Amino acid sequence: MKPLGFIIALMVVSVGAKLQANPAPAAMRAMSLQDCLQMALQHNLDLQIDRYNPQIARFALNAAHGPYDPSFSISGQHDHTEAGSKLLSGGFSVPGARSDDNGGSSTLGGLTPWGMTYGLQGNTMDSYGHSAGATGGFESSAATTSFTLTQPLLKNAWIDAPRLNIRVSKNRLKYSELQLQLQIMQTANSVETAYYDLIYDRASVEVQQKAVQLAEELVAQNKKRVEVGAMAVLDLESAQAQAASTRATLIAAESTRDTQERLLKHFITDEFSKWQPIEVVPSGSLSSAPLDLNLQDSWGRGLAQRPDLLQARLDLEKVGIQLKYDRNQLFPQLDAFGTYGYNGSGREFSGALYDVQQMDRRLYAYGGRLTIPLSNMSARNAYKSDKATLQQIVLALKKLEQNIMIQIDNDVGLLRANYEQVQATRAAREYQEQALAAEQKKLENGKSTTYVVLQVQRDLTTARAQEILALDTYNKSRSQLSLDEGSILTRLGLDVEVK
C-alpha cells in the first residue's frame, strides 16, 4: 500500500508541474527492476539511516566488555604528627613527640569473565622522628607486595551484571541486524510494487490514448456522414462529447503516471533534484506466468526466515537471560578469597625492599565470606516478574507464528484468485476487441448507431484497463507473498550482507 500522505504530496507537485508553461522535455532513462533495486540498496535514505543501527549495537557490545578492563592506581602520601612537651616539677620539661611518615601504594586489579576479582598491591612506608622524652630519633621502613583473589561461589557465580550486559548486547546486535534485513526486504517490496504500478500507470495512459484515438476517428467518420446527410447532427455531438471525456480521462491518467514515477524515484535515490527531470521508463513487463504454490512450503519458509519472527525469538531469549540473572540473585553472597605476598622491614627504605626481594618473609590469608539478605524482596519479585514476562512473550510468539501462517494462507489464496482474474480479464478484452470491430462494420453498413459504437468503445477501454490492473495486482501479490515468507531477497536474486 502506498503511503497516503506521500502520494498526496506528490499529486500536489504533479498539478503544479502541469501548470508550468512549456516545460522542458524530460530525458528518458530505461530501467529494469534489478536496476531500481540496486539503486535502492545504495541510495535509499531509509536504508542509509538503518544501516547505522548494527554499528551502534556493536559499539554497545564492545562497551559492555568495559568492566573487564584492568585498572591501575598509584598514590603517595606524607603524614606529620607532633605531640606537645610535658612540664615536670622543678621547672623541667620533657620534649614532645614528633613523627613523619612517607607512604606509597599501587594497585593493579580487575574482573575476570568468570566473576573473579584480582588485585596486585604494593605498599611502602618510611617513618622517622623522635618519641616523647627521648633524646635521640628513630627511623624505620616497611614494604609489602601481595596478590589477592576473590571468587563468588553462589550469587554472581555463573552470571553477574557484566556478563548479563554482554549477553543482552549480543542479543540486541543480532536484533538490529535482523531489523536492517527487514528494512531491506520491505524496501525491495516497495520498489517492486512501485515499479509494477508505474508499468500499470504507463499502460493506462496508452489505453486512454487508444480510447482518444478511437473517439476522434469516430468523430471524423461522423462528420463525413453528417456532410452527406447520412447521419443526424445529434449523433456527431454525442461522438464529440465522448472524445472530450476520453481526453479528460487521459490527462488524469498522465497525472497519476507522473505521481507514481516520483514515488519510484523516492525509493531509489537520495538526490531527487538530479532525478526530477529524468523520465523513468520501465524496461520490464508485468508477468502473467503461473506460480507453483505449496502452502506447507510457504509456511516453512515464513516460520524459518521472517525477520520479525526471528526478532520475537530474540526477545524471548533476552528475557531468558534476564531470568537466569535474577534467579542467581536469589542466592546468598558466598565468596572465597585468598591473599599471598611478601613483606620486609628495616631502618632504611632500601633494607625493606631488599627483604621483599628475598621473598623469605611470606604473608598469606584465606577464608570465606557469607552474606545473607534477610528478606531479599527486590530479587524475589524481579524473578517472579521475569517468569510472568517469559510466559507472556511465549504466548505473543505463538500468536505471531499463527498470524504469519494466516497471512501466508491469505496471500496464497489471493495469488491464485489474482491469476484467475488475469485470465478472465484477458479473455474479456479479446472479446471486446472483436465486438468493437464487428460493431464498426455494422455502423459502416448502416446497421448500427453511434451510441452503440460509443458504448462498445467504452467497454473495450474498460476491459483493457481491467486487464492491466489484474496483471499489476497479480505481480504485486506475488511480491507480497515472498515478503511474508521472508524469501523476497532470494526471489529477486539480491545477495545482501547485513552487518
What is the grid cell recorded at 425? 480479464
pLDDT score recorded for residue 291: 84
Helix (H, G, I), strand (E, B) or coil at 382: helix
Query: Does residue 244 sit in the same domain as residue 190?
Result: yes
Query: Does residue 212 sit in the same domain as residue 292?
Result: yes
Task: Tell me the sheet residues that pair with 282.
Answer: 31
Query: Does residue 122 sit in the same domain as residue 248?
Result: no
38 inside domain: yes
4 inside domain: no
Query: Does residue 119 sit in the same domain as residue 230?
Result: no
47 inside domain: yes
Task: Note every long-range contact of 472-475, with CB atoms under 8 Å and residues 24 or more positions apart, other chains counting.
Answer: 472/196, 472/197, 472/199, 472/200, 472/286, 473/418, 473/421, 474/286, 474/287, 474/288, 474/415, 474/418, 474/419, 474/421, 474/422, 475/192, 475/196, 475/286, 475/287
Query: Does residue 238 sit in the same domain as residue 122?
Result: no
Query: Does residue 419 sit in the same domain as residue 308?
Result: yes
71 inside domain: no
Strands 278-282 and 27-31: parallel
Query: Does residue 239 sit in the same domain as residue 281?
Result: yes
12 inside domain: no
pLDDT score recorded for residue 5: 46
Query: Does residue 360 sit in the same domain as residue 463?
Result: no
377 inside domain: no
Is the pTM higher than 0.85? The answer reads: no
Query: Does residue 341 sit in the same domain as residue 398?
Result: no
Cα 159 to Cα 68, 139, 149, 313, 379, distances in angstroms: 14, 50, 18, 21, 14
Phi, psi dihedral angles at 89 (to 5 degrees): -65, 150
Q: From first to last of the 499 residues of the chain, give the pLDDT tens digit.
A: 444 444 434 444 444 444 344 455 568 899 999 999 999 999 999 999 999 999 999 999 999 999 999 999 999 999 988 776 555 555 555 566 788 888 899 999 999 999 999 999 999 888 887 776 556 677 888 889 999 999 999 999 999 999 999 999 999 999 999 999 999 999 999 999 999 999 999 988 988 888 888 888 878 888 887 777 777 777 777 778 888 988 998 999 999 999 999 999 999 999 999 999 999 999 988 888 888 899 999 999 999 999 999 999 999 999 999 999 999 999 999 999 999 999 988 777 777 788 888 888 899 999 999 999 888 899 999 999 999 999 999 999 999 999 999 999 999 999 999 999 999 999 999 999 999 899 888 878 878 777 787 788 888 888 988 999 999 999 999 999 999 999 999 999 998 887 7
Contact (Cβ atoms closer than 8 angstroms) between residue 132 and residue 148? no
In the chain, the number of structural domains is 2
Query: Does residue 313 sit in the same domain as residue 340?
Result: no
What is the grid cell recorded at 313? 525469538
498 inside domain: no
Query: Does residue 252 sit in the same domain as residue 394?
Result: yes
pLDDT score recorded for residue 129: 75
| d(C-alpha 280, C-alpha 278), whole Å | 6
Query: Does residue 221 sit in the same domain as residue 171?
Result: yes
pLDDT score recorded for residue 134: 58
Cα 46 to Cα 49, 210, 262, distances in angstroms: 5, 39, 16
- For 131, counting Cβ atoms within 10 Å of its Cβ (0-12 exposed, 13-18 middle, 19+ buried), the class is middle
240-265 pLDDT, tens digit each: 888 898 899 899 999 999 999 999 99
Domain of 117, in residue numbers: 77-83+94-153+336-371
Contact (Cβ atoms closer than 8 angstroms) between residue 142 and residue 352? yes
Contact (Cβ atoms closer than 8 angstroms) between residue 66 and residue 110? no
pLDDT score recorded for residue 90: 58
Please report, for the domain that includes residue 459, its CATH number. 1.20.1600.10
DSSP-assigned letters across all residues of 459-474? HHHHHHHHHHHHHHHH
11 inside domain: no
